[in-house]
Amino acid sequence: MSNGVNLKELSQRLNLSQTTVSRALNGYPEVSEETRKRVSEMAAKLGYAPNSQARRLATGRAMAIGHVIPRSIHEMMNPIFLEFIAGAGETYSRHGYDMIISVVDDEKEEDAYRQIASRKKADGVIIHGPANNEHRHKLLKELNLPFVVHGRIPGAEQETSWIDMNNRRAFERATNLLLDLGHTRIALLNGLEHMDFASRRRRGFEEALAARGLTPDPDLMRSADMTEPYGCDNAMEMLKSDNPPTAFLISSMISAIGVARAAGQCGLKTGKDVSIITHDDALSFLPNSGEVPIFTCTRSSVRYAGEKAAELLLNMISNPAAKPVSLHLDAELIIGQSTGPAPAASR
Amino acid sequence: MSNGVNLKELSQRLNLSQTTVSRALNGYPEVSEETRKRVSEMAAKLGYAPNSQARRLATGRAMAIGHVIPRSIHEMMNPIFLEFIAGAGETYSRHGYDMIISVVDDEKEEDAYRQIASRKKADGVIIHGPANNEHRHKLLKELNLPFVVHGRIPGAEQETSWIDMNNRRAFERATNLLLDLGHTRIALLNGLEHMDFASRRRRGFEEALAARGLTPDPDLMRSADMTEPYGCDNAMEMLKSDNPPTAFLISSMISAIGVARAAGQCGLKTGKDVSIITHDDALSFLPNSGEVPIFTCTRSSVRYAGEKAAELLLNMISNPAAKPVSLHLDAELIIGQSTGPAPAASR
DNA sequence: CCCCTTATCCAAACCGCTTTGGATTTGGCC
DNA sequence: GGCCAAATCCAAAGCGGTTTGGATAAGGGG
């Protein structure tokens, strides 16, 4: 019951060497099935479990994956990150890996990676939220620390392992849907566009417009942290303008909720007077499901991305020579209650 | 540049013993300032950092705190948890501790704690979301694993260290505010009431009503995971009933947003036709600030709670003999746009 | 000048596990 | 019966730090 038999004591109780006991428990073939059974029974009885630090020291593997998140970046402190973590965490624990998360001051981010490498705190890391001018991957290569990117690093797609959804295509399709419904004044409430995912979404939006000979109105394009008030305030401002949009394309459910609130306050009915398409990361506390989801959306489970990213990384670690591999997830375009034909131009 | 000098190599380069080098770097007094300087310079130059596994093995301290979260519990997979983690994480890294998070199947929760203890994966843990019939603390005591509770364990307040906000009082005050505004039919959209925090909030609500001779209407009290649709659907149902509430008291901003949506869909103006008070955990992506916040709320920063919880725990660890200590945070009652006098009984 | 602190530094043990390189026993085959 | 390979098991050497118990040198007082 009391915690704390170690290998030595266990082996003494069994009249066996530490070697044999260790091998028995770790499934090596050089030990008879009979002894193996005897050993594991005694281990269970005494509640033996190998000290992880000792094992890690001996094997040279940290059996842990690091996630470092700069604390000021709101973008990261967000539920999307959490959901990703949840997915990744499942994979880790299924494989006996620990997940260690470091919340650090921005200027200490590089330091954090260096520490992980030099102190051997983790066998690999995940890069979250790559920016347009990303640099972390270079540091990590230099540090010889395996990593997987959640998202893509522009210009380094070939040489890095990553998992990403098709941001450009998703927003292109969403835009086309709105265009097909007759909307021509479409607002884009994007995430921070110095991030790669947001740039791609914007590109998808613009390209879809361009394909129909439309040029985006700069007044209808915003970019910021995806909070609820961000959605509400900007939508409000646009809706009250002389030439309001009839549709919104939004990068996050949370902001979309804000937009819906603004619409309500303006006396506009969502899905009728104003159309909304949002990206939906399938967050567990913000379900947008049902036969007819509240919001028409492009959906891609970020939790699933977390699971997969973790798998990629663990593979890289156990197979260091392998080439970089990447996973491209396709977002679904799902019709909900928030879209409808553009209202006849009346006002 | 290349990572990987160890203590031995470093000491050889310096013509010193490992002992001296170790002591120099760890600030022990038995080494002259001159050598200490020489040592640290060389360490910096060679990029030396002690291997954490080795250090942990030698010192017997894991220098890590564990957070185990059963994966099915949506309640835990929520942004509140994330925000708490963010706060705690800052404290940890400031003190050189790692944060390890285990996402495990429900039935493996106990197992996870046992492993942390027996394999010495962490020096302590945080208990999240204590239930009415909580049991984890007993296991942890048995395992001799220091812990701090985020929330309170009913019946074990004296013997455990915890940090909590005053849930009962906060909801009592909020209810009183609504009563003062003339509302008598007040709906309670609570979190899962098998959780301690939700029970307390309900108690506060009921006691405030009772103090004015009112008995709560069971039809106006709901309890579930605090999602957006939960708020919307239940509010919708109530508002469409024969005898609708004029005010809502809600356990989470997210659900409050849902309630506001329902109100909008019913053509009711929030803060006029219907009043809303919500608890606000001060989540970074759901700001409810400004001169006049959107929602009238009881506010308590869960991120701050995380920081403090971590501090309590680290103190416990470095001072194992100390008595349990607890921190009781008071939620602020903040007036926003979502409350107003009860409409004259007209319908 | 000698003895006793005090200031420095070191060799070696230890933390608890894995893993290498045998040693010993057993069994099959000619 | 003798020989060789397979099957078991073990002693000891790491892994990379921290820490104990001295040893050595330097300084101070009588």
The yes-or-no verdict on residue B61 having pLDDT over 90 is: yes
Question: What value does the mean pLDDT of chain B take?
Answer: 93
* B326 has pLDDT over 90: yes
**Percent of all residues in chain B with a pLDDT value above 90, rounded to a whole number:** 83
Average of pLDDT values for B267-285? Answer: 94
Quickly state the pLDDT bin for B265 (edges 50, 70, 90): confident
For A15-36, what is the mean pLDDT?
A: 89
Alpha carbon separation from A49 to A26, A163, A331, B115 (Å, rounded): 11, 35, 43, 7
Among chain B residues 36-95, those with CB within 7 Å of any atom of strand D: 48, 50-51, 54-55, 57-59
- List, as one string, the DSSP characters of A95-161: TT-EEEEEEE-GGGHHHHHHHHHHTT--SEEEEES-BTT--HHHHHHHHT--EEEES--TT-TTTS-
Is the CB of A103 within 7 Å of strand D? Answer: no
Nearest to A85 by CA among A76, A75, A72: A76
Sign of the torsion formed by the C-alpha atoms of A331, A332, A333 and A334: negative
Angle made by CA atoms A242, A247, A249, in degrees to the nearest 5: 120
Q: Which residues pair with B296 in a beta bridge?
A: B277
Q: What is the pLDDT of residue B74?
A: 57
pLDDT of res. B347: 42
Cα–Cα dist A315/A56, whole Å: 19
- Contacts of residue A293, defined as CB under 8 A and 6 or more positions apart, other chains included, come to A280, A334, A336, A337
What average pLDDT does the structure give for chain A?
Answer: 93
Give the pLDDT confidence of A203-237 residue by residue, as tens digits.
999 999 999 999 999 999 999 999 989 999 999 99
CA distance B204 to chain A (A): 25
CA of A307 and C1' of D22: distance in angstroms? 55
Which residues in chain B have Cβ-Cβ distances shorter than 8 Å to A54?
A: 57
Rounded distance between C-alpha atoms, residue A330 and residue A342, angstroms:
27
The nt closest to A17 (CA vs C1′) is D10
- Residue A216 dihedral angles phi and psi, to the nearest 5°: -65, 140
Average pLDDT over residues A113-136: 96
Among A29-33, A132-136, B149-153, the minimum mean pLDDT is found in A29-33
Percent of chain A with pLDDT over 70: 97
Q: A98 pLDDT exceeds 70?
A: yes
For B:107-166, CB contacts with A below 8 A are: 112, 114-115, 117-121, 142-144
Q: What share of chain B is helix, strand, coil (3-state, %, to 5)?
A: 45, 15, 40
Note the pLDDT of residue A85: 92
Residue A325 burial (CB count, 10 A)? 13
Cα–Cα nearest to B297, from B268, B327, B341, B256: B256
CA angle A193, A197, A198 (to 5 degrees): 30
pLDDT value of position B193: 95
Residue type present at position B61: R
Of B89, B120, B143, Cβ closest to residue A101? B89
Amino acid at A64: A
Region B27-41: what's the mean pLDDT?
Answer: 88
Contact B285 A254 (CB under 8 A): yes
pLDDT for position B5: 87
Average pLDDT over residues A271-293: 92
CB distance B53–A62 less than 8 Å? yes
A286 touches chain B (CB under 8 A): yes
**Taking the CA atoms of chain B, what radius of gyration do you get in angstroms?**
26
- Tell me which amino acid residue B311 is: E
How far is residue B24's CA from residue B14's CA, in Å, rounded to a whole number? 12
**Nearest residue in chain A measured CA to CA from B88:** A103
Closest CA to B189 of B178, B205, B177, B173: B205
Mean pLDDT check: name the lowest of A105-114, A239-248, A313-322, B24-33.
Answer: B24-33
Nucleic acid strand D within 7 Å of A318 CB: no
Cβ–Cβ contact B15 with A under 8 A: no
Which of A 22-81 lie inside 8 A of B, CB atoms?
47-54, 56-57, 62, 64, 69, 71, 74, 77-79, 81
| Strand A186-190 to A221-223 pairing | parallel
Which comes out higher in pLDDT, residue A300 or B2?
Answer: A300
Element (H or E) spanning B287, and its range? none
Residues in CB range of B263: below 8 A, 6 or more apart: B235, B239, B269, B270, B273, B274, B276
* B157 three-state secondary structure: coil
pLDDT of residue B73: 64
Residue A77: pLDDT band (50, 70, 90) is low
Which range among A187-191, A289-293, B68-72, B255-259 shows the weakest confidence by mean pLDDT? B68-72
Contact B285 A77 (CB under 8 A): yes
Q: Which residue stretches of chain A are H helix? A: 7-14, 18-25, 33-46, 52-59, 79-94, 109-118, 136-143, 167-180, 196-211, 228-239, 253-265, 302-318
Q: For residues B70 and B90, give the distance between their C-alpha atoms in angstroms, rounded to a whole number.
A: 23
Q: Is A328 exposed, middle or buried (0-12, 13-18, 19+ CB in 10 A)?
A: exposed
Task: Report the gap between the CA of A242 and the closest CA in chain B (Å).
Answer: 24
Average pLDDT over residues B277-298: 92
pLDDT tens track for B136-188 = 999 999 999 999 999 999 999 999 999 999 999 999 999 999 999 999 999 99
